[in-house]
Structure 1
Amino acid sequence: MDEPIIIYDLKQELHNQDIHYLLKRENVNICFFRFVGGNPSETDEVFKQLYRLKDSRTIVFGIFRFPFRFEGKQRMEIAIDQYFKLKKVCDSIIYFYSDGMMETLEEGTSIRDANILFEEFEKAPIRAIEEMVKNTGDINIDIRDIQSFIRNKDGALFVRTFEGNSFDEPLKHLISTPYLSQNFAEGNQLMVNIGYTNDVDMDAFRQINLRINDLFHKMEIFKIGSYLMDKPGRRLKITVMANGIVDPFEQKEDTKNLPLYRYWFANKWRKVTQKEKQNDWFSVMNKTAETIKKDRLQ
């Protein structure tokens, strides 16, 4: 029996034990790395560690949040550079606007409650992808589909889940939020996962598929999955995932050739030194075995 898929959720920092655990996994797993940009001291070492996962069987999603505009222009410029670096070392990246998150708050919301809500926004795509790969259904979307989908096209990833008993208002309004990309229908490919309760009829299923196709008509449909949510009533839960979404900011010319060779050399050197240590250990063990063998012969 295959091992269950592990969903790893890390925020803002990576420890050696996290990396060692993920590197030792033999089956394909998913790591979400959540990062709020803007702090210049939190860049190089984190991305160096993430680069080590390039050789593993772990799919790495970067979840990047841009700082608030009121934090200053310099902090935003640092965050933009960090976004493109994170995009380079991860398999795919999902981005959020902090200013858009602020727009969802009611007047007088405390900092504590705001942070709880922002945390929920960041975790929504994690839950959506986890549900896709762990729920078997009529037409199942598995981890191999996810892997192929995110590696097929360049650009950012858009993930959004919405649900309801009926969808009378335009679908675009249900999917659109101020804290996610507004260009979600302009990507390259689309994957959709549709959950339905016991009393949803085929006409409702057909209508939602038609509306999805109308909204995303410019995009190639990669796969549409469906699964039963074994509950009474009429309710649909829909996750749309679009790849090839345009980046939120233009990349500066002088940062397009990011010096990832430094991470490559660091990773290579680490492997060489580890191998030398391992060889030294084997050499000591072999010498010990030979000594024991001589003693026995004598």
Structure 2
Amino acid sequence: MKNDVAIYKLKHSQFEKDYYQYAPHMNQDDFCFYHFVGGDPNETDKLIEQLHTIKNERVLLLGIFRFPFQFEGKKRLETAIHQYYHMKEICDTVAFFHGEGMLHMIQSDTTVVEANKFFNSLEDELVEALENMVSIPGEMNIDVQDIKHFITQSDGPLFLHTIERDSFDQPLKNLISAPYLPDNYADGKQMILNIGYTQGVDMEAYRQINLRLHDMFHKADLVKLGSYYINKPGKQFKITLLVNGIEDPFPKPEHFSKTSTSTTALWFKKKWEGLFKKGKEGKSADKSSPAALTHNHHSLGQEEKA
């Protein structure tokens, strides 16, 4: 059976521009990533309203949250922590990035423009990892329902990461870890593992990498194991890890209050309801060409391209 899924990516800073364009095409089986950089207290109400607006589409909502840099001050971090918990409350799951860790990945003389492009590319890799997981068929498939069920099983944040290597002659933790990613991913409760392999991979290499991965994630239940062939020469693995149930990066603030609709948020909600009413009316008329920001509409029945 052909199983189509569209994957959308929306940024908080471009929400007014993009959501109205994409909303008429969103279906219940689709995924929507929402990206937010925390720290600005003036953006909290809009964050909450935008997330609720997307949730009304009944898509699976995955938040991508970036914590601020240390040099931005303690107050921005405190604000970001509250915003993180608001996002976690509304979204189906949240994946987070440490802004300070991103700084360790660039040279000090990198321009601000180039640095931001690089930071965005790191976050885009998370979206691409999920796209590849649901769109590339293999001997053992991981489908959309597998991932949806997995995500809704835990209220903790999500770890989603892909590594590509032709050699694993160093500890896996060194290969998987990065300063901008959660550092407690190996303590997750559940895991989906997807392993791609090229033409030269032999059974012993395949056995060894499985053993090492299972040993590293011995605390997690393996919910689904996928494998697929990459039609390329050489001996290379492409491994995607999806882990849930890890700990939050910061404790929930003692005085954190659950999402409430403020006067500003009410105004914002009424504004969006009016703007999107016309778009909703055309939703059933055209579902054939979803215009996702990632420009991908995946068919799970499509064959893998070489």
- TM-score norm. by structure 2 comes to 0.81
Counterpart residue type for residue 65 of structure 1: R
- How far apart, CA to CA, are the structure 2 residues paired with 1:72 and 1:110? 21
Cα shift at 1:242: 0.7
- How far apart, CA to CA, are the structure 2 residues paired with 1:147 and 1:255? 28
Q: Note if contact 1:23-1:57 (Cα within 8 Å) is conserved in structure 2.
A: no
1:234-280 deviation line (CA, Å, top 9, x unaligned): 1101011110111111111321533379989x69xx69xx7xxx9xx
- Rate the CA distance shift 1:114–1:156 in 2: closer, same or farther, 3 A: same
Q: Counterpart of 1:48? A: 49
Moved more, 48-57 or 6-15: 48-57
Q: Which aligned pairs between 1:66-105 and structure 2 lie closer than 5 A?
A: 66-105=67-106
Q: Note if contact 1:12-1:35 (Cα within 8 Å) is conserved in structure 2.
A: yes
- How far apart, CA to CA, are the structure 2 residues paired with 1:261 and 1:203? 60
Q: Counterpart of 2:183? A: 182
Q: Which aligned pairs between 1:18-167 and structure 2 lie closer than 5 A?
A: 18=19, 21-22=22-23, 25-167=26-168
- How far apart, CA to CA, are the structure 1 residues paired with 2:205 and 2:16? 47
Counterpart residue type for residue 68 of structure 1: F
RCO higher in 1 or 2 (8 Å CA, sep ≥ 6)? Answer: 2
Q: Note if contact 1:7-1:31 (Cα within 8 Å) is conserved in structure 2.
A: yes
Q: Note if contact 1:19-1:49 (Cα within 8 Å) is conserved in structure 2.
A: no
Cα shift at 1:180: 0.7
Matched residue count: 272
Q: Counterpart of 1:227? A: 228
- How far apart, CA to CA, are the structure 2 residues paired with 1:164 and 1:136? 21
**CA radius of gyration, larger in:** 1
- How far apart, CA to CA, are the structure 1 residues paired with 2:16 and 2:158? 26
Tell me, what secondary structure is at the counterpart of 2:10? strand
Cα shift at 1:55: 4.1
Tell me, what secondary structure is at the counterpart of 1:255? coil
Q: Note if contact 1:23-1:56 (Cα within 8 Å) is conserved in structure 2.
A: no
Structure 2: tracts of 5 or more residues without a match = 282-306
Please tell me whether residue 197 in structure 1 is matched to residue 198 in structure 2. Answer: yes
Counterpart residue type for residue 71 of structure 2: F
- How far apart, CA to CA, are the structure 1 residues paired with 2:123 and 2:49? 23
Structure 1: tracts of 5 or more residues without a match = 279-298
- TM-score norm. by structure 1 comes to 0.83
**Structure having the larger proportion of residues in helix:** 1
Cα shift at 1:204: 1.0
